[in-house]
Structure 1
Amino acid sequence: MTLIADTEPTVFETVESEVRSYCRAWPTVFERATGSRLFDEHGRPFLDFFAGAGSLNYGHNNPALKRPLLDYLGSDGITHGLDMSTTAKRRFLETFRSAVLEPRGLPYKVMFPGPTGTNAVEAALKLARKVTGRKTVVSFTNAFHGMSLGSLALTGNAGKRAGAGVPLTHTTQMPFDHYLGGVTPDFLWFERLLEDSGSGLDHPAAVIVETVQGEGGVNVARAEWLRGLADLCRRRDMLLIVDDIQMGCGRTGDFFSFEEAGITPDIVTLSKSISGYGLPMSLCLFRDELDMWRPGEHNGTFRGNNPAFVTATAALETYWRDGTLRDRTLRRAATVEAALAELGTEAAPRGRGLVWGLEFEDGERAAAVCRRAFELGLLVETSGPRDEVVKLLPPLTVTDDELDEGLGILARAVRHTA
């Protein structure tokens, strides 16, 4: 019998593209997951403070979502429905209206674009340009809005932009909150460009912003900065788009991350955890008077992911009929902040709710921390323009014991790499 050496290339290495990423950082083969843990094919557990890049706010295979999904599939419920009317879609729309929109007084229509975050952003850009008749959209330094060409044009990361292979046009970047170190009044540069006919900035159709820049390094915008931005958009006749793809669905505490600032954006994009179960789904929300779409003007073959409607409805019914999850998330935020502050790293920890960043002086140290954390059984990733920030995204349903365990492992990893 011929023995195959451990160095024999795997099917992932011989068949799958070199574009693969996370599997390189976490070199094991995962087999199953439940709650806040994944298990590899050898049965080794890993505490998950990555949560599907924010797609699993309610954990893996949450029973409150899995049971309705299994019942739906077992009854031969519609799986693929494009934008046809289905009972699953009706239940989701009714629940989203009563559990999310009406309690917050939000005047939004709901659009189902293709089931990815970047497609929701593309839909928002199309609509803003259609409504205003203008082309330019303003985004911010260190922003991340997706990998298709329109959303990539709004993204700040040079490495990701380089992958486009074509010019990325019709966008202008402005300084995000704190980008200039507080030495310049908020929006001074932006206002000056808008009022100066010689600035070269065409009147923007819209401004798009993340209230917390996750991929950009967990950069948190102050509530007063967001209110100032909303006021600027009103005064200058620009639509305000909030990209809530990673920070929405409770990640910062409230269902929408902009609620703390008391603003009402014109357009909002949601994806990742809106399905609640990791199933592909996205929404583009906008004020009723902006609904100028012609039938089929923006579409997608998989915009009617009915199993995702089922789990999304279950998530809303389970977690968003009252403020229990919100309050628990905010309490745990204080626990995380205190634990990270004790680590004595180069910069103070920053975050909101259950998204936190720990900044190091360079990407090598941050990567070493993540590698050591993996060896110790914890999944965390890096973010930031130089991958210098270790980012924490535990499930919102993480238990107190699991949160303490994960923070303890992270502390060990930081000390090991010092």
Structure 2
Amino acid sequence: MTITPPALSVFEALESEVRSYCRGWPAVFDRAQGSHMYDEDGHTYLDFFAGAGSLNYGHNNPVLKRALIDYIERDGVTHGLDMSTTAKRAFLESFQNNILRPRDLPYKVMFPGPTGTNAVEAALKLARKVKGRESIVSFTNAFHGMSLGSLAVTGNAFKRAGAGIPLVHGTPMPFDNYFDGTVPDFLWFERLLEDQGSGLNQPAAVIVETVQGEGGINVARPEWLRALAELCERQDMLLIVDDIQMGCGRTGAFFSFEEAGITPDIVTVSKSISGYGLPMSLTLFKPELDVWEPGEHNGTFRGNNPAFVTAAATLDTYWADGQMEKQTLARGEQVEQALRAICEEQSGVDFRGRGLVWGMEFEDKPRASAVCKRAFELGLLVETSGPESEVVKLLPALTISPEDLDEGLRTLARAVRETA
């Protein structure tokens, strides 16, 4: 289809230059349903972005929308700080019954604020409080958020530079396969921990993504994650898994670390936990780590009750019977087959992923942006990731139909061919 860029004068005149997604997708969107978005000129777009992973169940999911409308219409509490409400109780009971108890996970639940970086800040703060140490170890190409504590454990140089001040008390280590398998796992990390002359302060915790989303869809092997968990236990460090983008079923299981068979000390969850795109985040931790004093960490919007309503409806609808995980893995196989075919046809392209998060890496790095631009022109929303935007990232809704998924993959293949 042919898309004429809209008049964006009010956005250009009033909105900050920091805006980004709207530059790659020059349309004024008006409505959305399921896996489709519609602009004000009537063009239809198939969404392989899903709100950067915040819309795992699609736009305006009818089951969740009905629960939200009913709650609003009966004047349910909207803003509740950390007060006890019926909406919060329903969510906690659903989370316990559908997620924690079936997985034998003992976690306490903290509502640290509405966004993912709030959850990470709370996790880092708690780890330091529990261990009485400052240093946090993160990994190359990690992304954990845009506030100062989260930026300190983020790898991307461009994002780090925006802080304007030194980002301290964080130490990066090589992520899985950083040296293409030529160096034993954790050789450098363990040597620094054991050498009294290394200059590495004993860390309070290690924070890791099992799949690095913004870093380029870098997938950690289960055995690497297990070895990391064992290292943390040996060296008296807490293990924090950042599951903000890869949790809530994105990789298949509800938590992305389940495949590795590990139980992190702390887990951060956000993005799709509300199911509807409403701001909400959780910091989960083992009960013995719950050393907070009342009010020691708080926030005005940590009790988003409409998000509790849609979150409970999401868990009860999609996570009570185990079918969502099976469906996601089946859809993932569909994506894998299509990406393999593209890479067999095109030189200089590779792919990787898990569940319904996939990436295509281009040796000719600017080509990834060109593919996303052409895909938009063809009616498909995809974004880039990686330190040099060299990876085309696929994040379709978990509820996408096989037909829509196939259509989007065919469009992607065409975009790759036409940018060769």
Q: Tell me the TM-score range normalised by the shorter chain.
A: over 0.9
Q: How does 1:229-378 map to 2 (within 5 A)?
A: 229-344=228-343, 345=346, 346-378=348-380
Give, in angstroms, the shift of residue 343 of structure 1: 1.1
Secondary structure of the residue aligned to 2:406 is helix
Confirm whether residue 61 of structure 1 aligns to residue 63 of structure 2.
no
Give, in angstroms, the shift of residue 334 of structure 1: 1.0
Secondary structure of the residue aligned to 1:349 is strand
Structure 2 residue corresponding to 1:400, chosen from 399, 402, 413: 402
Distance 1:362 1:39 in 2: 32
Q: What amino acid does structure 1 have at the position aligned with 2:318? A: Y
Confirm whether residue 25 of structure 1 aligns to residue 24 of structure 2.
yes
CA contact (8 A) 1:362 1:387 kept: no
Q: What amino acid does structure 1 have at the position aligned with 2:306? A: P
CA contact (8 A) 2:53 2:271 kept: yes
Give, in angstroms, the shift of residue 153 of structure 1: 0.5
Q: How does 1:128-139 map to 2 (within 5 A)?
A: 128-139=127-138
Secondary structure of the residue aligned to 1:348 is strand
Q: What amino acid does structure 2 have at the position aligned with 1:100? A: I
**With structure 2 as the length reference, what TM-score do the two structures score?**
0.97
CA contact (8 A) 2:6 2:28 kept: no
CA contact (8 A) 2:37 2:47 kept: yes
Distance 2:365 2:147 in 1: 26
CA contact (8 A) 1:210 1:244 kept: yes
**With structure 1 as the length reference, what TM-score do the two structures score?**
0.98
Q: What amino acid does structure 2 have at the position aligned with 1:365? A: R
CA contact (8 A) 1:211 1:257 kept: yes
Q: Which runs of 5+ in 2 are unaligned?
A: none
Q: What amino acid does structure 2 have at the position aligned with 1:148? A: S
Secondary structure of the residue aligned to 2:366 is helix
Secondary structure of the residue aligned to 1:33 is strand
Secondary structure of the residue aligned to 1:125 is helix
Q: How does 1:133-282 map to 2 (within 5 A)?
A: 133-282=132-281
Give, in angstroms, the shift of residue 332 of structure 1: 1.2
Distance 1:214 1:189 in 2: 24
Secondary structure of the residue aligned to 1:138 is strand
Give, in angstroms, the shift of residue 359 of structure 1: 0.3
Distance 2:276 2:18 in 1: 25
Cα distance per residue 1:366-391 (max 9 Å; x no partner): 00000000000000000001000000
Distance 2:293 2:24 in 1: 44
Give, in angstroms, the shift of residue 363 of structure 1: 3.3
Distance 1:276 1:364 in 2: 33
Distance 2:297 2:166 in 1: 23
Q: What amino acid does structure 2 have at the position aligned with 1:329? A: T
Give, in angstroms, the shift of residue 175 of structure 1: 0.2
Secondary structure of the residue aligned to 2:342 is coil
Cα distance per residue 1:319-376 (max 9 Å; x no partner): 0001111001101111111100111242431000000000002431000000000000
* Aligned pairs, number: 413
Runs of 4+ in 1 over 3 A off after TM superposition: 6-9
